[in-house]
Chain A
Amino acid sequence: MKTKNPQTRAWFLGALGLVMAASWVLIPGGSGQGLSLGGPRLVRIDSLPAIEFSSEMCAWMPAATTASPALFSMALQQRNETAVESREVLDRPPVRVIKDPFPTFSAVAVDMVNNEIVLQDENLFQIMAYDSSTNTPPTAALSEPKRVIGGHHTKMEFNCGLYIDPGNGDIYSVNNDTIDTMVIFSRDAKGDVPPTRELSTPHGTYGIAVDEAAEELFLSVQHASSVVIYNKDAEGDAAPIRMIVGNSTKMADPHGIALDTSRGELFVANYGNFSAYQPGLERGGGGGTGGAGRINGSGRFFPPSISVYPSRGDGDIPPLRVIQGPKTQLNWPGHIAVDEQRGELFVANDGGDSVLVFQVTDEGDVAPTRVITGARTQIKNPTGVTIDKKNQEVIVANMGNHRATVFPIDAAGNVPPLRVIRAAPAGQPALQIGNPGAVSYDTKRDEILVPN
């Protein structure tokens, strides 16, 4: 394990530069644009036919209250007859850039054969493999991983789900947005390499679980509120072999999934955001922003939940049981994990800064058996959780503080982790900006509003 001394500012500048340079080197035909970060560069001088503002008054042009088809037809035919003005392409770097230059851990998996903890970095779009014994000293800036997989060729973006094949160490990475592809890398993959296998997935895929005995791969889909099941070796445009989807399932913005193969059950964590399917159109997978197959105005909010299904289930089936209600403490449940030996379900409880532990047989409005939470745990916005069965440990990926935290399997309360893998200097805030689809400005408070 390597460590570095704190050099936060230098790290930010260096990391941002690295991200930018890496991005543009990888743009097809884009490397010739130059990497100068200097001030604005004069490209061309044109006279401005425009009016300078002298006051708050401005030109006002009333418009018709209805548009005529003739006008549109004219627009189609005379599209080059616009006002003639200068047109400028500007070289203009921003005056300020808000960016977290460090990894943000969204999911975690364990390679028990090779003693590695593998983490999804959803900020820089990479997978980072650490030795299982890694423990960042409090005085160190960060711990460096043994291997990193990342870059344009990896096809990773908003990578949020992770699975390690216990047989061969293959790494399965789920992209939550944009690329709609699950990518699989061999255990020793490193750098900006293409995946060894790809599977086209529905948009908004989040959680992953595998039934190794049945050789089946389970993926949760946020937009369609479904779980799709593929053959484990599926690739390309292979279709799911089963699909749990529909109004009876009570799935509502599903996130993490986990299998209890000893009981033949599938657990699904739900945020509670719901809209109803039109009966018979469930398998079209429409919904969310797609819209097809959903009933207009059927949207509702339900409390967050864990719903349980037979793992061989198919279609619009009701859950076997549901964990839901105020006693559960569920608050944006992310990834989940089942310890079959102990009969326990672990929940990364993002909004609660906690890990909740339930019995796998729990049902209804039940309190967790135990809760790992508090300042000493260093758990902050946890979205990932997994079980290291060999070492009897629970490992948490915290989006809120650049850390993975490792606890004994029976940890409870406000306890310090056994080990911490920290990917940024201790005081470095995790901004958790992810796919910022928009931005707004609060003119009253002079603030920038950024949604994920």
Chain B
Amino acid sequence: MAHPQIAIFDRLSNGGEPPRRLIFGQPTLLSRTMHDIRYHEGRDEILVTNPFAQAVLIFRGDSDGQTAPVRIIQGPRTGFNSIDTVGIDPVNDEIYIPDGPNIKVFPGDANGDVAPIRVVEAGADMGWRPSRGIGIDYVHDVIATDGTLMGEALENDDFKNPYRGGRDSVFVFPRLAEGKIKPLRMIRGDKTGIFGIRQMDLYPKGGWIVVAQITSGSVPIPEGTFVGIWGIYDNGNVAPRWKIEGKASNILAKPRGVTLNPKHKELLVSDMRLNSVMTFSFPEMFDTVAQPPPSQ
């Protein structure tokens, strides 16, 4: 897109109302391809990535206009190669950066050319690889990420995704996992409806995983798009607990971003085909706790 920016709207903004603030311009060091954004309430900071410069940019929460980031994580020690998303754990004050087949974890105050404090590694030998969507559940002490199967696990799997992209599964693994690991649980299969998901957000208090599915980025108006919510204990070929399909009556076409506003029990979705942001009232999710299977 021709103009990168972070637009900041009042919660009640509607229609064509202007943003309260805009972060844009050369001093911001922003680029296109900001495929994730997080607000860290404890630090009152906004986090995004600049994939072209292999950098994580951290702005003050009240940034406005052509303002520089307060911190930048960038440099050889980071080992960053292919980064365009970010996750935060506000309770344990950590920053998560998916980077190719790895997920790198930094302290919340990381600055400059610093090495990650933990690296989660996957690959064909582990039977899976993560992609870019990520969320941290500090209550159930797990991380969720999207991705796909690899190696023998993929060859032996019945589910065949007709779309490219490798973002057809949700994996759950321990929060403090480090090194080569295999996930605890996996949500994958035809009943899930997952072919290509993008941003992910978690609601730790209720144990919910919320994902936006665009199906395929290369199809202007793809079929099978939705916003789906799974429980943190869900495992296997299971449909989402709740699903809002991409269709005209839901004013949803190609949902790419998703986040939560627990205070007002709202679900927010950004739509890349409509170039818009929707707010859905979703009290049932915030009033409900995901249940473990009886055997646990």
Report chain A residues within 8 Å CB of B110. Answer: none
Q: Is the CB of B249 within 8 A of A91?
A: yes
Report chain B residues within 8 Å CB of A296. Answer: 54, 76, 79-81
Q: Determine the interface band of chain A, counting residues with CB < 8 A from chain B.
A: 35 or more
Report chain B residues within 8 Å CB of A274. Answer: 52-53
Chain A interface, >50% SS class = loop
With A65-B177, A106-B3, A440-B46 as given contacts, are A83 and B231 in contact (CB-CB < 8 Å)?
Answer: yes
Among B44, B177, B231, B288, the residue within 8 A (CB) of A52 is B288
Number of cross-chain contacts by CB at 8 Å: 484
A437 to B48, CA, bound (A): 11
Q: Determine the interface band of chain B, counting residues with CB < 8 A from chain A.
A: 35 or more
Among A16, A81, A435, the residue within 8 A (CB) of B1 is A435
By beta carbon, the residue of chain B nearest A48 is B288
Report chain A residues within 8 Å CB of B156. Answer: 76
Q: Does A35 make an interface contact (CB < 8 A)?
A: yes
Q: Is the CB of A178 within 8 A of B270?
A: no
Would you give the 0/1 interface string for B125-151, flagging 1 where the beta carbon is closer than 8 Å to chain A? 001100000000001111000000000
Q: Does B163 make an interface contact (CB < 8 A)?
A: no
Q: Does B33 make an interface contact (CB < 8 A)?
A: yes
Chain B interface, >50% SS class = loop
A333 to B100, CA, bound (A): 30
Pick the interface stretch among A130-138, A233-241, A284-292.
Answer: A284-292
Q: Is the CB of A253 within 8 A of B52?
A: yes
Q: Does A215 make an interface contact (CB < 8 A)?
A: no
Among A24, A252, A291, the residue within 8 A (CB) of B247 is A24
Q: Which residues of B contact A (CB under 8 A)?
A: 1-20, 24-26, 29-39, 41, 44, 46, 48, 50-55, 61-62, 66, 74-85, 100, 113, 127-128, 139-142, 153, 156-157, 173-177, 181-186, 188-189, 198-199, 205-207, 217-218, 220-221, 223, 231, 233-245, 247-253, 256-264, 266, 268-282, 284, 286-295
Q: Which 6 A-B pairs have the closest CB atoms?
A: A79-B236, A299-B54, A291-B82, A434-B1, A72-B182, A99-B276
Could you list 29 examples of A-B contacts with CB < 8 Å?
A: A36-B249, A37-B251, A51-B288, A53-B206, A53-B287, A56-B205, A63-B184, A78-B235, A83-B233, A83-B294, A98-B276, A152-B221, A223-B33, A271-B52, A287-B52, A289-B51, A297-B78, A301-B29, A334-B3, A350-B2, A434-B275, A435-B272, A436-B257, A438-B199, A439-B277, A443-B41, A444-B41, A448-B11, A450-B9
Q: Which residues of A contact B (CB under 8 A)?
A: 8-9, 12, 16, 19-21, 23-24, 26-30, 33-37, 48-53, 56, 58-69, 71-72, 75-76, 78-102, 106-107, 122-123, 125, 152, 155-158, 160, 176-180, 204, 206, 222-223, 225, 252-253, 271-275, 287-291, 294, 296-301, 303-304, 330-332, 334, 350-351, 381, 383-384, 399, 428-429, 431-452
